[in-house]
Structure 1
């Protein structure tokens, strides 16, 4: 265990710094957009640029890694992250920001993909859970820490944007200068969406809705905090509560889904999400402490549900199909993240910031209702190959968690299939 941690120490340090900058960026961009007087629909369009870039990177980045290797691509992507946020400071126009955010989405997606595939090669089956728990804590601490940098500056000028670019640049140093062994050359993954849907409709539909939920929240949550009158510090705390709720709920949800029909857990998550979002929409603008508490309940289901769908899809897959399934689920999730801000932005403009959670409640209701309907259509064990173990994903599963499987070398993948029936999820 100690040897594995030492071998990834530089990578984890780069990850921490990258997530600090990411947390700062993800909060300061919507805060500045609101300060510019842009409508929620306009901000949603900017967010769509980010999600399109993110989804595209999941397909394109493995090709670059295949050509020049992990470290060179990682350095290039972090450089793009720094350039994109600095360009936002230089050119304050929503059309330009849509392009800059697309570059940012492309770069952060590829960075996640490389980090997580690199980690998977450095760990063993015996210490995988422990190492990835440390990784998840690192991403959460970094993101929350970055969000709390916003109250220390003024989003209306360039200082926080420059600071963000500097932190991204510093994140390059530990990995660029590492002497640790580099990951083996990757392979390319295929995906067949029609086949995936036929095998597990609830996993595909659920992944799309999970993407719509997280895409809407991650891109418009900062707008909600500004337009409900919260200070930047209170807004950072609200966003942190969602992440903390997600982190605390991962293990209970995972254990429950491993012991019963996963679709039942999906139904319960849909109910919890619907109720908590409806409550949030009603208390919007109320006391901050009440918002924090309800936000934690929203967070307890808004991010973990994607892992449920990946688990359900892998339950019905052969071991040699895990990469194909993960890649397909990632693409579906990406399409969902694109649709979320586009649907929610105009509604927030028309009905106010609280309507964000009203729409999220509808998505959660659809999520739970569809899972319930599929229970009535198919027996729990029908089509089951082997029930795989649920494993927690990052607090903000933007899709690269599954996509990292696409960068695993053939030899390593084959060995894992022989040793265990558990798929390699992140």
Structure 2
């Protein structure tokens, strides 16, 4: 296995370092915002800037890659990450932070797209599952590791912001100096959301709700930990527990969905999400250890549900439509991430931090309930060309399928089908 991973090591090392910086900035920014005395509504507007930039990048970054290539755009985006976090340390004003976080969102989404399209093009049938499972683990380890850097410094001064910029800069080196072959230049990137909705309403609605959930948590999870009185170390552990739960649940959820109607798994995930979210409200104020366990249970469905919807959408697509389908799902997910903080922030301001999970319970109920309703409306479909396999995805899932939008359009249909879905289940 190890020799087959050698061509990807420099890219995976860059990914690890980038995610360490991402994990650090994702926690230090809300912690500093709370320390500044900004309201949850104000922090929500800052988070909205991030999600707007994230979504815009899904459309714009492929055009940049088309113009100058993967490596130049990757270097530019990581540099933009460093600049954005340094600006946050220099200009401590929520309006400026909204702009700077928008820069960060744009850069991180574009970096995901480039990394995943690069991996997607270079994997083979023999190492696909190994490479992508290692990639998902790399993103999780990096994110968790970055969050644990926060207790080592003081968020009220510039030290952690500078450290974050240094980590982003170091992340450039492995990829910038690699001698591995570069991905082929892209020739198109397209999406058609209305066509996608007509074909698979449950996939589109589910992707939007999944985006709202993840956007709300990634933007306001740090605020939640501060407002309920956890220390920075305890808050980092809670955020890490949720990520670990998400990572560990991806394989069993994927295997189950590969063997039955995926909508049934969506219903179950919705029910688990409702129960876990209500449990978080109940145990708030209990021992931190109990909070960590329940947070892991929330995480077990919070992030993996998006991959369920992508897999379901691809079940109903032809092989040459996988790129178009995944690009559309990526946009819907991005719009969902914008709506999440805007919906949840005012509720947290009025009803307190635990209302975050009350809203989560509603979202999960809508997610599972809509899937159940669609089961009654339409029989299970095995797909127009056969059922695809579930693909595990990282914390902010763009997915290798979506990243295929950056790949060359010269491949034939069989190649596209073969390079868009790493398989958890046996062939």
- Residue 284 of structure 1 deviates from its aligned partner by 1.9
* Residue 58 (1) aligns with residue 58 (2): yes
Deviations 1:290-327 (A, max 9, x none): 10010000000000000000010000000000000000
4+ aligned runs moved over 6 Å, structure 1: none
Q: Distance in 2 between matches of 1:423 and 1:236?
A: 32
Q: How far did residue 32 of structure 1 move?
A: 0.2
Q: In structure 2, how many angstroms separate the alpha carbons of the residues matched to 1:356 and 1:89? A: 28
What's the offset of the Cα at 1:409? 1.3
How far the C-alpha of 1:12 sits from its partner, in A, is 1.0
Determine helix, strand or coil for the equivalent of 2:57.
helix
CA-CA distance at 1:384 after TM superposition: 4.5
Match of 2:171 in 1: 171
The equivalent of 1:296 in structure 2 is 296
Alignment check: 8 A CA contact 1:249 1:304 kept? yes
**Paired residues of 1:306 and 1:397 also in contact (CA < 8 A):** no
Contact 1:326 1:402 in 2 (8 A): yes
- In structure 1, what is the equivalent of residue 409 of structure 2? 410
Q: CA offset at residue 424 of structure 1?
A: 6.3
2:94 aligned residue:
94
Question: 1:141-290 maps to which residues of 2 (within 5 A)?
Answer: 141-290=141-290
In 1, distance between residues paired with 2:401 and 2:239? 24
Partner of 2:366 in structure 1? 366
CA contact (8 A) 1:20 1:144 kept: yes
Structure 1 stretch displaced more, 55-64 or 117-126? 117-126
Residue equivalent to 2:135: 135
Task: Structure 2: give runs of 5+ residues left out of the alignment.
Answer: none
Q: Is the 8 A contact 2:132 2:422 kept in 1?
A: no
- The verdict on how the C-alpha distance between 1:233 and 1:220 changes in structure 2, with shifts beyond 3 A counting, is same
Name the CA distance, whole Å, in 2 between partners of 1:79 and 1:382.
44
Distance 1:219 1:259 in 2: 34
Do residues 325 (structure 1) and 354 (structure 2) align? no
Deviations 1:383-420 (A, max 9, x none): 654211112111x13436543121111244645247x4
8 Å Cα contact 1:191-1:327 kept in structure 2: yes
Greater alpha carbon shift after TM alignment, 280-289 vs 337-346? 280-289
Deviations 1:310-366 (A, max 9, x none): 010000000000000000000000000000000000000000000000001100000
| Structure 2 Cα separation of the partners of residues 278 and 402 of structure 1 | 33
**Alpha carbons 1:330, 1:402 under 8 Å: kept:** no
- For the residues of structure 2 that align with 1:243 and 1:14, how far apart are their CA atoms? 20
Alpha carbons of structure 1 residues 62 and 184: separation in structure 2 relative to 1, 3 Å = same
1:125-177 CA-to-partner distances (Å, cap 9, x unmatched) read 12101011111111111110000000000000000000000110111111111
User: Structure 1: 5+ residue runs without aligned partners?
Assistant: none
Give the alignment's TM-score, normalised by structure 2.
0.96
Alpha-carbon separation, structure 2, partners of 1:72 and 1:370: 43
Query: For the residues of structure 2 that align with 1:67 and 1:400, how far apart are their CA atoms?
Result: 22
Structure 1 distance, partners of 2:56, 2:419, is: 30
* C-alpha contact (below 8 Å) 2:391/2:421 kept by paired residues: no
Q: How many aligned positions are there?
A: 424
1:18 shift after superposition: 0.6
Cα distance in structure 2, aligned partners of 1:387 and 1:400: 18
The answer to whether the 8 A contact 1:322-1:423 is kept is: no
